[in-house]
């Protein structure tokens, strides 16, 4: 087990500086070995007490990234999970009980187990650097803090602030962490060591939390507050899909009066949660995300300037997103009015992103320039085209801009349905055209599909993947084929929903069947949100290429009822929200859900068979990050695996008998 994650340095004041440096890794992980090693070090200190102890990291930009999630995947049962938690608890309890001052000195990322280790120290100091982020994100993996972080964060910050960070899993800047008392002090990096030394030598007493904060932890108020918390959580996550937040609220409600008991129950609760399908699937989703992040790592694509053509819904948001990510951007549109709107909307995005950070807002503004005549074209390293979805209009544009482009620049189109080959054939260098398919809304959707046309140079694909990663998105390389990956899989599901509306099933029932399954939004509301004209144009392409019949409701579209943007589609909209009939009902909601889900799953297997992306995991990743497909189910193909192919095949067969050939099992099922 000897890995030697830790080294100890004693200074003249007899402060023991305990350095964490996982050998051969870019970040420190609090693995079981690292826990055991530190536990032994603390045991030695119990015998031979230093004047104080400071825990710090030798990694450049991170403190401790958290527990080693890979070890979680090896847990086979509750007993193993409990033993795992107890190892962490033993260390944290021992550290907390050590009778000399203990200090955690944080610079860079500090998550999960790293934060829990810090909470077991008497004092926490952190650098005010941008890279410093502190959080307890366990909830995103289907568990909650399990190394004592629940009780100790509540003790430090009070229940409202602590439960908030644990329930949302969000990462705090040092400033925000200081505000809620999660850390004691925040200083510039150059003063961090001195600050840690100050706390080690002086051990100043921590101020008591205000009376009003303390009282929220009383046994009288806890049940009331907990009920409120459950209500709030229920608006985002159903208990049967995501048990962890509810388990955390229960833990606090029942045991917050008794720290020792709460710690014991915490370990048991996390051992229960860690072996659920939800946790397994969320851990899987974490690794899928890491996999996508690594897609853009092969190439260094040094982009100094981005030029976006088309400042409409998508182009405008892509331009402001790139400016937010630090790029110098020019945005061009044929219409000066549209361009004025683009800049106005960008203001909104900057304010939303940077909140009150005026300097960051000003810098983003400086980076984004309206450029009616396309002066940015000759200096751009990447040109992103997001104009009308019209092949001829796009081709005319390409012909006019190619002679002005830098030799090395790449041309990326955001088209959602036009074949890349139909666009690239007008270029002198067709190899430079790649698809960069963003999803709406750009700021919220993590995925970007990188479409590899038949003519696209492999280097250009790699550059596009790198650019996708560098602007903070999850890039996924996809074969050029109708609907690419995400729309292709989503469309049959939406078409089935619209067919059901044609049959007279209420839209509300259909949407509820989907959200009950775990989708973030029902298919009818989604179609309204995307725009029924856009849905129809993608559906047309797919129906032509893959023989999917178009439901009547989509065939006969009225210009006044295109969805949310016109105030009416399948629903009417009031203040951007659909007006839904809460009493709408239907005799067989399970069948509605089966029809929706089975169409989606079947198309996912078809994409596997056709090799639309490189492997099965990438299909799941694309569908989760491109559509919000129920992450706790691990992706469509993982869902088929966990439900059982035979069972779902029977389901398909009975739907086919009733509704016809569109429910015929695709050959892709045999490849699973």
Q: Is 480 in the site for ligand NAI (CB under 6 A)?
A: no
How many chain residues are in contact with ligand NAI, going by CB under 6 A? Answer: 25
Residue closer to ligand NAI, measured from CB, 329 or 513: 329
Quick one: which of 88, 112, 145, 315 contacts ligand NAI (CB under 6 A)? Answer: 315
Tokens of 488: 């292709």
Strand partners, 413: 385, 435
CA angle 269, 273, 277 (to 5 degrees): 165
For residue 173, how many other CB atoms are within 10 A of its CB? 17
Catalytic annotation present for 437: yes
The tokens describing 108, both together, are 């860079």
Q: DSSP state, 421?
A: H
How many angstroms separate the CA atoms of 162 and 209, rounded? 13
Measured from the CB atom, the residue of 95 and 397 that comes closer to ligand NAI is 397
CA 399 distance to own-chain centroid: 38
Joined tokens for residue 511: 């949407």
Q: Which of 628, 630, 650, 649 is nearest to 638 (CA)?
A: 630
Catalytic residue (one of 89, 197, 437, 603) = 437
Cα–Cα distance, 109 to 85 (Å, whole number): 22
Name the one range near ligand NAI by CB under 6 A: 222-230, 306-314, 446-454, 494-502. 306-314
Task: Give the other-Cβ count within 10 Å of 580's Cβ.
Answer: 17
If the CB atoms of residues 241 and 479 are measured against ligand NAI, the closer one turns out to be 479
Q: What is the CA radius of gyration of the chain?
A: 27
Catalytic residue among 122, 487, 553, 602: 487
Q: Closest Cα partner for 498 from 510, 514, 482?
A: 510
Is residue 487 flagged as an active site residue?
Answer: yes
Kindly tell me which residue out of 113, 169, 310, 430 binds ligand NAI, with binding defined by CB under 6 A. Answer: 310
Nearer to ligand NAI, 203 or 338 (CB): 338
Name the minimum Å distance from CB 530 to ligand NAI. 5
Q: 342, 315 in Cβ contact below 8 A?
A: yes
Does position 393 interact with ligand NAI (CB under 6 A)? The reply is yes
Joined tokens for residue 165: 């960070």
Q: List binders of ligand NAI among 501-530 (CB under 6 A).
A: 530
- SS3 breakdown of the chain: % helix, strand, coil, rounded to 5? 55, 15, 30
Q: Which is nearer to ligand NAI, 540 or 651 (CB)?
A: 540
> Is-contact 651 584, C-beta < 8 A?
no
Contact flags string 326-365 toward ligand NAI, x per CB under 6 A: ------xxxx--x---------------------------
* Helix orientation angle between 523-530 and 486-503, rounded to the nearest 10 degrees: 110
CB nearer ligand NAI, residue 234 or residue 393: 393
Residue number closest to ligand NAI, CB atom = 312
Considering only 53, 82, 263, 534, the residue that binds ligand NAI (CB under 6 A) is 534
Q: How are strands ordered across the β-sheet holding 433-438?
A: 368-370, 328-332, 305-309, 382-385, 410-413, 433-438, 447-452, 474-479
Residue of 449, 455, 508, 638 with catalytic role:
449
Question: What residues numbered 5-24 form the site for ligand NAI, per CB under 6 A?
Answer: none
Of 59-67, 144-152, 305-313, 627-635, the segment contacting ligand NAI by CB under 6 A is 305-313
| Contact residue for ligand NAI among 203, 268, 313, 445 (CB under 6 A) | 313
Site for ligand NAI in 75-114 (CB under 6 A): none
Active-site choice (104, 122, 176, 416): 416
Nearer to ligand NAI, 46 or 392 (CB): 392
Binding positions for ligand NAI, 402-441, rule CB under 6 A:
414-416, 438, 440
User: Between residue 361 and residue 390, which ones bind ligand NAI under the rule CB under 6 A?
Assistant: 386-389
Structure tokens at 17: 């500086």
Annotated active-site residue 503? The verdict is no
| Cα–Cα distance, 105 to 410 (Å, whole number) | 44
Q: Which is nearer to ligand NAI, 334 or 515 (CB)?
A: 334
CA distances (Å), origin 593, targets 168, 529, 598, 641:
29, 21, 8, 18
Tell how far CA 571 is from the center of its chain.
29
Query: In residues, how long is the chain?
Result: 672
Residue with smaller CB distance to ligand NAI, 35 or 314? 314
Does 585 qualify as catalytic in the annotation?
Answer: no
Instruction: Report the distance separating Cα 126 and Cα 188, nearest Å.
Output: 8
- 300 by Cβ neighbours in 10 Å (0-12 / 13-18 / 19+) ranks as exposed
Residues labelled catalytic:
416, 437, 449, 487
Note the residues at the interface with ligand NAI (CB under 6 A).
309-315, 332-335, 338, 386-389, 393, 397, 414-416, 438, 440, 530, 534
């Amino acid at each position: 087990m000897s890995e030697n994650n830790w080294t100890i340095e004693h200074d003249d004041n007899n402060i023991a500086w305990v350095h964490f440096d996982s050998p051969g890794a870019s970040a420190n992980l609090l693995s079981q070995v690292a826990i055991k090693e530190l536990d032994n070090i603390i045991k030695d200190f119990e015998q031979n007490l230093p004047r104080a102890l400071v825990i710090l990291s030798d990694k450049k930009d991170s403190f401790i990234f958290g527990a080693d999630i890979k070890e979680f995947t090896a847990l086979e049962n509750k007993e193993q999970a409990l033993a795992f938690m107890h190892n962490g608890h033993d260390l944290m309890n021992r550290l907390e009980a050590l009778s000399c001052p203990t200090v955690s000195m944080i610079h860079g990322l500090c998550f999960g187990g790293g934060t829990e280790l810090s909470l077991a120290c008497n004092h926490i100091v952190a650098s005010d650097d941008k890279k410093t982020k502190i959080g307890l994100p366990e909830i995103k993996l289907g568990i909650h803090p399990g190394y004592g972080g629940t009780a100790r964060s509540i003790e430090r910050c009070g229940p409202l602030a602590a439960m908030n960070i644990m329930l949302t899993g969000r990462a705090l800047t040092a400033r925000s962490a200081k505000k809620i008392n999660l850390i004691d002090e925040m200083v510039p990096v150059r003063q961090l060591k001195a600050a840690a030394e100050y706390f080690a030598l002086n051990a100043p007493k921590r101020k008591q939390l205000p009376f009003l904060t303390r009282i929220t932890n009383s046994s009288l108020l806890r049940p009331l507050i907990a009920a409120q918390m459950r209500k709030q959580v229920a608006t985002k996550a159903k208990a049967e899909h995501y048990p962890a937040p509810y388990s955390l609220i229960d833990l606090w409600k029942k045991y917050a009066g008794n720290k020792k008991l709460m710690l014991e129950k915490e370990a048991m609760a996390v051992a229960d949660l860690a072996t659920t399908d939800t946790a397994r699937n969320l851990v899987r989703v974490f690794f899928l995300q890491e996999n996508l992040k690594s897609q853009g790592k092969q190439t260094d694509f040094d982009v100094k300037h981005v030029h976006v053509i088309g400042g409409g819904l998508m182009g405008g948001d892509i331009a402001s997103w790139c400016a937010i990510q630090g790029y110098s951007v020019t945005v061009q549109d044929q219409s000066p009015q549209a361009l004025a709107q683009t800049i106005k909307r960008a203001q909104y995005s900057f304010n939303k992103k940077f909140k009150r950070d005026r300097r960051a807002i000003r810098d983003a503004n400086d980076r984004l320039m309206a450029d009616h005549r396309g002066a940015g074209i000759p200096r751009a390293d990447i040109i992103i085209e997001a104009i009308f979805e019209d092949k001829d209009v796009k081709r005319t544009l390409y012909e006019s801009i190619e002679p002005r482009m830098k030799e090395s620049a790449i041309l990326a189109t955001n088209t959602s349905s036009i074949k890349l080959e139909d666009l690239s054939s007008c270029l002198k260098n067709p190899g430079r055209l790649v698809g960069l398919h963003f999803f709406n809304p750009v700021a919220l959707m993590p995925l970007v599909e990188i479409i590899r046309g038949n003519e696209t140079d492999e280097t250009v694909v790699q550059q596009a993947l790198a650019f996708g990663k560098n602007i903070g998105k999850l890039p996924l390389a996809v074969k050029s084929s109708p609907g690419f990956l995400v729309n292709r899989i989503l469309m049959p599901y939406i078409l089935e929903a619209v067919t059901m509306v044609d049959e007279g099933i209420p839209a509300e029932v259909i949407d509820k069947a989907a959200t009950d399954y775990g989708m973030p939004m029902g298919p009818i509301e989604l179609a309204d949100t995307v725009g029924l004209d856009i849905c129809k144009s993608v559906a047309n392409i797919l129906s032509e290429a893959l023989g999917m019949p178009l439901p009547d409701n989509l065939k006969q579209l009225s210009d006044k009822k295109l969805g949310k943007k016109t105030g009416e589609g399948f629903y009417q909209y009031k203040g951007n929200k659909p007006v839904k009939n809460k009493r709408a009902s239907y005799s067989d909601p399970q069948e509605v859900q089966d029809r929706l889900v089975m169409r989606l799953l079947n198309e996912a297997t078809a994409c596997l068979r056709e090799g639309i992306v490189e492997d099965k995991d990438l299909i799941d990743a694309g569908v989760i990050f491109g559509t919000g497909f129920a992450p706790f189910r691990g992706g469509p193909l993982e869902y088929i695996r966990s439900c059982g192919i035979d069972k779902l095949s029977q389901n398909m067969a009975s739907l086919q008998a009733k509704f016809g050939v569109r429910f015929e099992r695709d050959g892709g099922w045999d490849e699973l």
